[in-house]
Amino acid sequence: MIHFAHKNILWFLIAVLILLAGYILYWQHRKRSLASLGDSWLLDTLMPEASPAAHHWKFVLLFLGTTLLIIAASGPRVGSKLEEVEQKGREIIIALDVSNSMLAEDVKPSRLERSKQMINRMVDRMTNDKIGLIVFAGDSYTQIPITDDYPSVKMFLSGAGPDMVSKQGTAIGSAIKLAVRSFSSGQDERMEGETRPSQAIVIITDGENHEDDAVGEATKAAEKGIKVYTVGLGDPNGVPVPVRPGSNSTRRDREGQVVVSKLNDKLLMEVANAGNGAYIAGDRINSLIDELDQLQRTELKTHVFAEFAERFQYFAGFALLFLLFEFFIRSRKNQYLQRLNLFKTK
């Protein structure tokens, strides 16, 4: 399977396609303009050295050369095999609250969007770590299993929202329970002498737990050597919850009262203490990163493509060849090559 070391460079291929479309439109316009001037045989007599075929060949070679250069710059390569390597890292599962209360805008742009920004910053700081993502409201769901594929985590994170969970509420305990099961195999399943990786759960929520025993689940996680950290977002005094992101309309309960959401930092502190972790305020993301950096990094096994065979030189070679040919082709008929009829038109 072919891989690209710098995939972003491939976006330049769109510019090449735009160039192709512009060239086609130009020649159509030119053909109509010439037709309005007179008969084609008369124009050929007036422009004996003109060679549309030469122009076309020059563009084709330039188009192919530029396309191949872009592909070469993106670093095409082939992975010869998949091997298991050991790297020192940690296992971290992030449980993100996507309940309706996270749409509150006491934290700009909203609690949910600020949470996503925090997670992206955490992922950017990670090296050799494994990360998983769980979303929860009234129920909990694994959004992405624990992995070292950071781009995939960011991709799935971008689409996280209240519509992903059918049952509303905030079941922090359920999220912790699912996170514990989502880690790699337990200590009893490991080979003799194999160390357990440092494992942590990061709960990002406003703390309005209405469903289960979050403190009890955090205690069970701590008994298994898993630390539980909580990150609280919101105003302790409470703010109205909008109907949808960016909406001026607020949610109301069955009695018609405006739904107000408050940060329950007291509960989040209790959960963090029970989980041998720490409570972090939402505006102190650096403190959370510092706390996670204190976790001991242990050997983690991961699968990577090894012994990549670079293939950019083939694309670059043909690109330079095409561009060289394009350089030597004249836009007009060459009097010395005219006998060969290379660009003869009917």
> What is the per-residue pLDDT for 193?
45
Per-residue burial over 117-128, b = 16 or more CB atoms within 10 Å of its CB, e = otherwise: ebbeebbeebee
Q: Is the pLDDT assigned to residue 277 strictly greater than 90? A: yes
Query: What value does the mean pLDDT of the chain take?
Result: 81
Q: Degrees (nearest 5) of the Cα angle 294, 298, 302?
A: 125
Q: Hey, what CATH topology would domain 84-302 get?
A: Rossmann fold (3.40.50)
> Lowest-confidence range among 94-98, 148-152, 193-197, 270-274?
193-197
Per-residue pLDDT reduced to its tens digit, 235-244: 888 888 888 7
pLDDT of residue 85: 58
Q: List pLDDT tens digits, range 127-179.
A: 888 899 999 988 899 999 988 889 989 998 988 888 888 787 788 999 999 99
Question: How far is the C-alpha of 159 from the C-alpha of 162, rounded, in Å?
Answer: 10
> What tens digit of pLDDT does each residue of 79-131 get?
655 555 566 778 999 999 999 889 998 888 899 999 999 999 989 988 888 89
Q: What angle do CA 224, 272, 159 make, to 5 degrees?
A: 90
Least confident segment among 177-186, 205-214, 244-253, 294-303: 294-303
Specify the domain boundaries for CATH 3.40.50.410 within the chain: 84-302
- The rounded distance, in Å, linking the Cα atoms of 279 and 284 is 10
- Per the model's pLDDT, the better-predicted residue between 232 and 188 turns out to be 232
Q: So what's the pLDDT on residue 166?
A: 78
